[in-house]
Amino acid sequence: MEEIPESHPRYESLMQRHRIEAGVEKGLTSRQGLVAQGRGEAFDYLLGEQTIPSADTAERVAAAHLLDADHAVLSVNGNVAALVPEELVDLAETTGADLEVNLFNRTEQRVAAIADHLREHGANSVRGEAADARIPGLDHERAKVDADGIYDADVVLVPLEDGDRAEALGEMGKTELVVDLNPMSRSAEVAAVPIVDNVVRALPNITAHARELRKTERDLDAVVANFDPDDARGAAEQQIRRGELGD
Ligand code: ATP
Ligand code: MG
Separation of 159 CA from ligand 2 center, angstroms?
9
- Residue whose CA is at the smallest distance from ligand 1 atom 16: 160
Separation of 180 CA from ligand 2 center, angstroms?
7
Residue 72 lies in a domain: yes
The number of domains in the chain is 1
Separation of 181 CA from ligand 1 center, angstroms?
7
- Quick check: 28 and 187 in contact, CB under 8 A? no
Quickly count: other Cβ atoms within 10 Å of residue 73's Cβ.
29
Give the closest ligand to the alpha carbon of residue 36. 1
- Residue whose CA is at the smallest distance from ligand 1 atom 12: 162
Residue 28 lies in a domain: no
Q: How far apart are CA 44 and CA 38, in angstroms?
A: 10
Residue 104 lies in a domain: yes
Q: How far apart are CA 169 and CA 133, in angstroms?
A: 13
Residue 231 lies in a domain: yes
Count helices and strands (H / E) in the chain: 12, 8
CB distance 204 to ligand 1 below 6 Å: no
Query: pLDDT tens digits, the chain, 247 residues: what are they?
Result: 567 788 888 888 899 999 999 999 999 999 999 999 999 999 999 999 999 999 999 999 999 999 999 999 999 999 999 999 999 999 999 999 999 999 998 999 999 999 999 999 999 999 999 999 999 999 988 899 999 999 999 999 999 988 999 999 999 999 999 999 999 999 999 999 999 999 999 999 999 999 999 999 889 999 999 999 999 999 999 999 987 665 4
Residue 25 lies in a domain: no
Residue 43 lies in a domain: no
- Residue whose CA is at the smallest distance from ligand 1 atom 17: 40
| Predicted TM-score (pTM) of this structure | 0.95
- Looking at residue 202, which CATH number applies to its domain? 3.40.50.12640
Cα 173 to its chain centre, rounded Å, is 19
Domain holding 98, by residue range, is 53-242
* 17-72 residue pLDDT tens: 999 999 999 999 999 999 999 999 999 999 999 999 999 999 999 999 999 999 99
Residue 181 lies in a domain: yes
Residue 214 lies in a domain: yes
Encode burial over 209-227: b for 16+ CB neighbours within 10 A, e otherwise: bbeebeeeeeebeebbeeb
Give the closest ligand to the alpha carbon of residue 197. 1
Residues with CB under 5 A from ligand 2 (ion): 163, 185, 187
